Amino acid sequence: MITNASRGLLSRAATVSGATRIVANASAESCAVSATRQCLPARASSHWAGYEMGPPDPIVGLNEAFGHDDFENKVNVGVGAYRGDEGRPFVLPVVRKAEEMMQGHHLDHEYLPIAGDPIFVKLATEFAYGKDSAPIAEGRLAAVQSLSGTGGLRVFGEFLKKGGHEHIYVPDPTWGNHIPIMRNSGLEVRKYSYYDVDTSGLNFEKMMADIKDMPAGSCILLHACAHNPTGMDPSPEQWAEISKAVKDYKLVPFFDCAYQGFASGNAPKDAEAIRMFVEEGHNIALVQSFSKNFGLYGQRVGALSVVCADPEEAKRVTSQLKITIRPMYSNPPKHGAHIVRTILGDEALTAEFIDECKGMADRINDMRVRLRENLEQVGSTRNWEHITKQIGMFAYSGMNKDQVMAIREKHHIYCTLDGRISMAGVTSGNVEYMADAIHDVTK
């Protein structure tokens, strides 16, 4: 039974409760209307706030600048990727054919082993070393599939570090990514002389002196062919001298081979230095990329191999390469490697590949001749002989940084700041324009 006193207490409680709701509602409305930060919970400071903006990659930044340029006749000769004479990306017909064949096989998408596709690895190493190579025949080649050349370089850098190496020697200049890859592997990067800017040629005498000054046991990185960025390779006679010095001074030769077949149009010829060193008894290491020669830029196809003393040593080295790969990327991708193995595993397709690869090399060499001819015809008094002496995708033009910026601003031609020109970007439609522009900023 509710008494009058109880009713009074309930009435007062309701009044108080109502007043509280009114105050609370008024407060909420006031907060919503004012939208002041005091009404919102404080946002926690980000753990990532201390991370600074990194500098743009030189090539990526160059491509972005090119993309934002509205000039109709702009030219991009900074990208290290082949283009046809119409200036568009080029897929080798034999690659298309291999992909069609693969579709009919209903391939699965299972993981590859840590060391990659063993058939691809076998065919890739035979492509570089030769099918009759002694290390392959004797079972003393440790080899794994890699994430193109870049991944193989990183794996080998860490492999060296684990084995007690503290430094590696690279040519001056070298591919820009060599340096951060090796530094991030924990190695000190040292340079040896390679290119003479004054003569636009190989500084062989200074190169040999630097090689002979390297401490015994040092690893020396060598470009197997089509040196990037200079396009200037040693002659066969000079390679023989390099081989002798490397052996005499007990150095570890490590070849980076990114352009086999693409440099001269002759795959065995482009592998001459590799095969010479092996025949002369060096236990070389080799990283191969199939991006340029097969046009498989986005597939990340490569191989890393180490010549060992005997099969037992090869097994131990392979085990260490796999231990390095496992926590890094676990195992390599499948599709691109299967394209390469389909082509190299078939004599007819291999013949087609060699012919198409030669076609790419021939087009680039033709552009070298035409660029030099146009520079000479336009009245330039400079010596442009180095353009046709160099080989491979790149021409080290000799333009300095100021001239590179001038040709970009005045003529909308984009190349890297060291004056490196990707000859794949030079076409029959722009070669005269290129020559006029280069002459304008270098006269």
Find the helix or strand (DSSP H, E) in which 57 lies. none
Q: Catalytic residue among 97, 122, 292, 334, which?
A: 292
- Is residue 150 within 8 Å of residue 123, measured between CB atoms? no
Number of Cβ within 10 Å of residue 168's Cβ equals 25
Q: Catalytic residue among 175, 233, 239, 270, which?
A: 175
Return d(Cα 267, Cα 210) in angstroms, integer: 30
Told to judge if 384 belongs to the known catalytic residues of this protein, a careful annotator would answer no
Q: In a 10 Å sphere around its CB, with 0-12 CB exposed, 13-18 middle and 19+ buried, how is residue 35 labelled?
A: exposed
Tokens of 38: 């005091």
Q: Catalytic residue among 117, 210, 256, 270, which?
A: 256
Rg (CA), the chain: 30
Told to judge if 256 belongs to the known catalytic residues of this protein, a careful annotator would answer yes
Q: Which letter does DSSP use for residue 89 in this model?
A: B
Pairing of strands 285-289, 301-307: antiparallel
First-residue to last-residue Cα distance in the chain: 111
In single-letter form, the type of residue at position 296 comes to L
Closest CA to 417 of 434, 405, 435, 407: 405
Return d(Cα 443, Cα 439) in angstroms, integer: 6
Told to judge if 292 belongs to the known catalytic residues of this protein, a careful annotator would answer yes
Closest CA to 362 of 391, 342, 395: 391
Phi-psi region of 423 (alpha: psi -120 to 50; beta: other; left: phi over 0): alpha
Please report where in the chains the tokens 């090869």 appear, as a residue: 314
Return d(Cα 390, Cα 425) in angstroms, integer: 16
Closest CA to 76 of 411, 364, 436: 411
Closest CA to 141 of 286, 271, 343: 286
Find the helix or strand (DSSP H, E) in which 421 lies. strand 420-422
Q: Which letter does DSSP use for residue 424 in this model?
A: G
- CA separation, residue 125 to residues 10, 108, 152, 344 (Å): 92, 25, 14, 11
Tokens of 225: 């062919």
Tokens of 274: 């590799």
Give the max Cα distance, the chain. 119
List, by residue number, the catalytic residues.
175, 256, 292
